[in-house]
Amino acid sequence: MKLSKLKVALTAGIAAVAISSSANAAVDFTGKTIEWVIPFSETGGSAKWANFFAPLLAEQLPGKPTVVVKFMPGAGSTKGANWFQEQKHDDGTLLFGTSGSTQFPYLLEDPRVRYEYNDWNPVMASGTGGVAYLNAEDGKKFDGSANNLKGIDFIYGSQGATTLDLVPLLAWKMLGMNVEPVFGIKGRGDGRLMFERGEATIDYQTSSSYLKGSAPLVEAGTAVPMMSWGALDQDGNIVRDPTFPDMPSFKEVCEATVGCETSGDDWDAWKSFFVSGFAVQKLAFLPAGTPQDVIDTYSSAFDAVRKHPDFAKIAAKRVGKYDVFVGEGAEKALQSATSAPKSAKQQVKAWLKDDYGVDLSK
């Protein structure tokens, strides 16, 4: 699917949702506990996303069950995803959440991946954004471009080169910045803690985590926003993130930086993975074998959540101003999140091998 048609297709998916109203009458979760497993640590954006939606989902599911968020971090989320692949439907009380850090290893055919997205049943998907920020000292040198940052050696806490971190790592490389990743953290929240302790000098967080954990650092003067990754408009162009309208997008910073190009192989590869990792960044799944009435019940519940009169206002403060997809919209979102042009994947694989010794060409 062309990038220019992505937003239109996803929006059309929302309009096309037709969820059976009889599903709720057939499924009842009274007295049950639903476990929503997140394959990251409890400090990151996925945790904040699930913890935001969990009580809202519980209120809308028939029987008003308890929804408990549990965490299974490890191997950049592939540990939890591999575990979920082995789970089969029991009684509708298991939900699993993924993010771009789960999608990217799948796209890049990482040998750790033993999961297949097409086996799972998506019931909700949502977009997000991301913000890169600097420490106070280096932030003084930022003028809307990276020209004054090129001679600085930055340290960055990373979950791994094949995770969602490849979007910021490639962006900083395109800007000509020297950013040394320290691999092995279990979640982006751990990266923020490294930044707070002075062990890292540059960081990025997804929108929900930035709003809650990093914005206070900016207010305190210990962090300086550099850029958001941006968002897609109806024509597939990178524009400013609606959650951070006063912050320049990566495209704007790239255009202002000598040597950074918003066309060509690097840009096309970056944009393809940005679309896959952020436009449809987080998804909620039921396991293989789940009956259609249970799938419809969850889809109906998430549909009711997003249509609640106060949802947009509350979500803007907690997770940002992004679309939520259910039903057919979630299916279309999954397709966009787990596909990228072959040329983009080849470009990223070459970069990973050259810069980090990660060989995924086999």
d(CA 301, CA 56): 9
What pLDDT score was predicted for residue 75?
86
34 pLDDT higher than 50: yes
Looking at the structure, do residues 272 and 228 belong to the same domain, yes or no? yes
357 in a domain, yes or no? Answer: no
196 pLDDT higher than 70: yes
- Please report, rounded to a whole number, the percentage of residues in the chain having pLDDT higher than 90: 78
306 in a domain, yes or no? Answer: yes
**Which CATH number belongs to the domain containing residue 332 in this structure?**
3.40.190.150
The contacts of residue 42 (CB under 8 Å, 6+ apart) are 71, 187, 189
Task: Return contacts of 10-13, CB within 8 angstroms, 24+ apart.
Answer: 10/279, 10/280, 10/323, 10/325, 10/329, 10/332, 10/333, 10/336, 11/234, 11/323, 12/332, 13/325, 13/327, 13/328, 13/329, 13/330, 13/331, 13/332, 13/333
Predicted model pTM: 0.80
Looking at the structure, do residues 282 and 151 belong to the same domain, yes or no? no
Expressed as residue numbers, the domain containing 86 is: 3-126+278-342
Using one digit for the tens of pLDDT, what is the confidence trace for 233-291?
A: 878 889 999 999 999 999 999 999 999 999 999 999 999 999 888 888 899 999 999 99
353 in a domain, yes or no? Answer: no
The number of distinct structural domains making up the chain is 2
Using one digit for the tens of pLDDT, what is the confidence trace for 238-251?
A: 999 999 999 999 99
How many CB atoms lie under 10 A from the CB of residue 7? 21
Looking at the structure, do residues 91 and 214 belong to the same domain, yes or no? no
Looking at the structure, do residues 259 and 178 belong to the same domain, yes or no? yes
296 in a domain, yes or no? Answer: yes
92 in a domain, yes or no? Answer: yes
Looking at the structure, do residues 112 and 155 belong to the same domain, yes or no? no
- Residue 33 CA, chain-centre distance (Å), reads 26
The domain boundary, picked from 257, 276, 295, lies at 276
